[in-house]
Amino acid sequence: MTGPILRIAVPSPLYRTFDYLPPPDRDLTALRPGLRVRVPFGRRQVVGFLLETSDSTSLDPAALRPALEILDSEPPLPADVLALLQWARRYYHHPPGEVFATALPVLLRQGEPALPPALPPSWRITAAGRTALAESAVLRRAPVQRLLLEHLAGCADGASLETLRPVARDSAATLRALRARGWVELIAAPTPNTPTPPPPRIPHPPLILNAAQAEAIASIAAALERFQVFLLEGVTGSGKTEVYLRVIEAVLARGRQALVLTPEIGLTPQLLARFRERLPGPLAVLHSGLNDRERLNAWLLARDGTARVVVGTRSAVFAPLRAPGILIVDEEHDPSFKQQDGFRYHARDLAVVRGRQLGIPVVLGSATPALESCQNARRERYQLLQLPERVGGGAEPAIDILDVRRQPLLEGLSRPLLERMRLHLARNEQVLLFLNRRGFAPILLCHECGWLSACRHCDARMTLHLRQRRLICHHCGDSRPVDSVCPLCGSVDLRPLGHGTERLETALRQEFPDLGIARMDRDSTRRRGSLETLLADIHNGDHRILIGTQMLAKGHHFPDVTLVGIVDADQGLHGVDFRSSERMAQLILQVAGRAGRAEKPGNVVIQTHHPDHPLLRVLVAQGYPAFAAAALAERQAALLPPFAHQALLRAEAADPERATAFLKAARALAEPLADGVELLGPAPAPMERRAGRYRAQLLTQAARRQDLHGFLDRWIARLWEHATDRQVRWSLDVDPMELY
């Protein structure tokens, strides 16, 4: 036996770890979980994670391949993140290699040294390198390598690449070659290991906290040394962010760091500016708009504690922190915290797990908490902190339901809504229209023969985008030029059916030709910086009418908006998913919250064909807490989450039979194991064909979480053994947020 076996999480979609022998000539005493290891994998070389070392392997030790190189002297991820990943890997039953890769910036996944950007790493000769020099035979044919090695043999503390460049031709490439042979290594320049002192205080703005704010801050501040989840519920403008800021100040004063998670589109310039202005020291920001280098640098600043406050989107829940003190999840109900492909984790739920493991408080903030969180507060697992009023006593917007049945509609807008718009516009105020559908029209229809713009790859229609002159499928991304004649009958009478934001914009430009109109959706903000420009123009008052999708619903505040129109609430009220009414209520209130200020409260008008929808009525008449209570009662009666726990097994294949056959076999495996667990399906997915593949699903559900997870532990392991049909792609979604 050549020493310990390395058990490695290799970035591959396989539900297992891989065993390797240690690389030759390597000091084995320094092996620790979390080190990155370069290993051969098939015909490739990949960077994996050392999970543990072991004396035994279930494989034939003679067949094991040696690892090529250990990339780190210290694990790049702190112990608490490693523990979180281990937890997540078991809970989500996901291939370990992909789980671990999620937590690392791309450059580190590719093997780059995990060293602070300010301190260039230095190269040092290894023991094996000295041996190689002594047995000079190996180096006879490699004079450049020899030259560099000899030079490094004389540098006790190593040497940076800069100082090595003049030593030999092509030093960088030669060093890489030497490293691959294990003769040199990269080491971090020494980092001071003393805790960073608390940063200087920045004075508060001269505002007096209201009683609810003061109480919320006091409750959280009293729990800084232990694990406790707080659900901070307060309407937009009730001062939640001020609570975050004060609590963060208290955490920083103890020399600790704060991690703040926000939804992707909630991470606005406004929010960041407020954080920068109020909190001392550099802020690390982690979001999907960064390039790989920027992301690595922000990540390293968080890890070495230089950044006292780290703000980021979903995957920042894995951000390394030197001295974590608090975790805050803003807009905790937002669906973007759930990853919808690959490793399907929920960042809010993982924040709670991380807080528990670290023994620090977690604050979940929202005007419209997820029903799961409401239920946790009712069961007193979370401590509820409410900010019931808008700061400054501003009235909450008045919400009206507008029955559009039998009403003439101008491109989806009823006459009463248009009249209300004119009223507000005449007073020089702004109007915001919310329509959660981008493009011109969701369908192009032939009036002659009834042909519809179906996608070739999906059970879906292609959306008409007139500006781009293309039909685009919002499900698979396929696009083509707009047909000028019907592909079936040759008629030229092709008509757009239904309304998107682009169409609304066109109609309003005709109706209000003299007014500035801004459209905010993914199409109009695709270019880098275009969102910022649009927001600045809106705040300067250049635009009087704002049209947007859910992008408009978050983070921004438009104080001059006094009328908000929800153009089509019916979409959400009657969605296929049991969560769609919750989602619609959250969106309505969020959009409503964008508007108004103390002296100019907002008005909200909701257009619907179902004015008597019970949940909609409760929401409008009594507000979100009453809505949540009613919706929870419905969920309880139907035994749906949070009163049941679900995991969804999805399968897809080019051939519909195969996906179903796989799920039938999976069900047969599950039946003897499913104690206290209900199996529903297999059934075709609501959109059966997507991107050319047929999708089916099997839902598993249990009243008790531990029953479900006990079952999944046994079932998923067997499924991997039995799932031999290579044509079927499958995945498990634990706590699915969408059932398709």
The contact set with Zn ion (CB under 5 A) reads: 446, 448-449, 451, 455, 457-458, 473, 475-476, 478, 486, 488-489, 491
Nearer to Zn ion, 463 or 590 (CB): 463
8 Å CB contact between 105 and 70: no
CA–CA separation, 266 and 556 (whole Å)? 8
Choose the one of ligand ADP, Zn ion, none that binds residue 336, judging by a C-beta under 5 to 8 angstroms depending on kind.
Answer: none
Least distance in angstroms from the C-beta of 520 to ligand ADP? 19
Choose the one of Zn ion, ligand ADP, none that binds residue 451, judging by a C-beta under 5 to 8 angstroms depending on kind.
Answer: Zn ion
Choose the one of ligand ADP, Zn ion, none that binds residue 240, judging by a C-beta under 5 to 8 angstroms depending on kind.
Answer: ligand ADP
CA–CA separation, 114 and 297 (whole Å)? 10
Q: State the CB neighbour count (10 A cutoff) for residue 406.
A: 6
Judged by DSSP in three states, 628 sits in helix
Query: What is the H or E stretch that residue 366 is in?
Result: strand 362-366
Nearer to ligand ADP, 210 or 607 (CB): 210
Nearer to Zn ion, 191 or 491 (CB): 491
Least distance in angstroms from the C-beta of 269 to ligand ADP? 14
Nearer to ligand ADP, 84 or 432 (CB): 432
Least distance in angstroms from the C-beta of 231 to ligand ADP? 14
Choose the one of Zn ion, ligand ADP, none that binds residue 644, judging by a C-beta under 5 to 8 angstroms depending on kind.
Answer: none
Nearer to Zn ion, 309 or 486 (CB): 486
Least distance in angstroms from the C-beta of 258 to ligand ADP? 16
CA–CA separation, 501 and 546 (whole Å)? 10
Nearer to ligand ADP, 241 or 414 (CB): 241
For residue 261, which of 226, 312, 198 has the smallest C-alpha distance? 312
CA–CA separation, 578 and 389 (whole Å)? 30
For residue 67, which of 85, 89, 49 has the smallest C-alpha distance? 49
Choose the one of Zn ion, ligand ADP, none that binds residue 78, judging by a C-beta under 5 to 8 angstroms depending on kind.
Answer: none
Least distance in angstroms from the C-beta of 396 to ligand ADP? 12
Choose the one of ligand ADP, Zn ion, none that binds residue 398, judging by a C-beta under 5 to 8 angstroms depending on kind.
Answer: none
Nearer to ligand ADP, 240 or 519 (CB): 240
Least distance in angstroms from the C-beta of 501 to Zn ion? 20
Choose the one of ligand ADP, Zn ion, none that binds residue 21, judging by a C-beta under 5 to 8 angstroms depending on kind.
Answer: none
Choose the one of ligand ADP, Zn ion, none that binds residue 383, judging by a C-beta under 5 to 8 angstroms depending on kind.
Answer: none
Q: State the CB neighbour count (10 A cutoff) for residue 218.
A: 14
739 secondary structure, DSSP code: -
Which residues of this chain interact with ligand ADP, rule CB under 6 A? 207-210, 213, 234, 236-242, 391
Least distance in angstroms from the C-beta of 71 to Zn ion? 41
Sequence-separated (6 or more) residues with CB below 8 Å from residue 117: 296, 297, 300
Least distance in angstroms from the C-beta of 75 to ligand ADP? 37
Choose the one of ligand ADP, Zn ion, none that binds residue 488, judging by a C-beta under 5 to 8 angstroms depending on kind.
Answer: Zn ion
Nearer to Zn ion, 507 or 691 (CB): 691
Choose the one of Zn ion, ligand ADP, none that binds residue 491, judging by a C-beta under 5 to 8 angstroms depending on kind.
Answer: Zn ion
Choose the one of ligand ADP, Zn ion, none that binds residue 476, judging by a C-beta under 5 to 8 angstroms depending on kind.
Answer: Zn ion
8 Å CB contact between 352 and 381: no
CA–CA separation, 195 and 41 (whole Å)? 40
Task: Return the ∠ at Cα 376 (arms to 372 and 380), rounded to 5°.
Answer: 170
For residue 65, which of 46, 45, 39, 85 has the smallest C-alpha distance? 39
Choose the one of Zn ion, ligand ADP, none that binds residue 239, judging by a C-beta under 5 to 8 angstroms depending on kind.
Answer: ligand ADP
Nearer to ligand ADP, 250 or 630 (CB): 250
Maximum Cα–Cα distance for the chain, whole Å? 93
Nearer to ligand ADP, 209 or 454 (CB): 209
DSSP-derived secondary structure for 660-677: HHHHHHHHHHHGGG-SSE
Sequence-separated (6 or more) residues with CB below 8 Å from residue 607: 402, 404, 412, 413, 414, 417, 565, 566, 567, 568, 569
Q: Is the dihedral of CA 527, 529, 535, 536 positive or negative?
A: negative
Nearer to Zn ion, 260 or 445 (CB): 445
Choose the one of ligand ADP, Zn ion, none that binds residue 242, judging by a C-beta under 5 to 8 angstroms depending on kind.
Answer: ligand ADP
Nearer to Zn ion, 127 or 488 (CB): 488
Residue appearing with tokens 């009525």: 617
Least distance in angstroms from the C-beta of 252 to ligand ADP? 18
309 secondary structure, DSSP code: E
Residue appearing with tokens 């992008």: 551
Please, how many CA atoms are within 13 Å of residue 48, restricted to the half-sphere of its CB?
Answer: 28
Q: Exposure pattern of 57-73 as b/e (b: 16+ CB <10 Å)?
A: eeeeeeebeebbbbbbe
For the CA atoms of 624, 630, 636, 641, the dihedral, rounded to the nearest 10 degrees, stands at -30
Least distance in angstroms from the C-beta of 179 to ligand ADP? 49
Nearer to Zn ion, 166 or 481 (CB): 481
28 secondary structure, DSSP code: G
Residue appearing with tokens 């002296």: 599
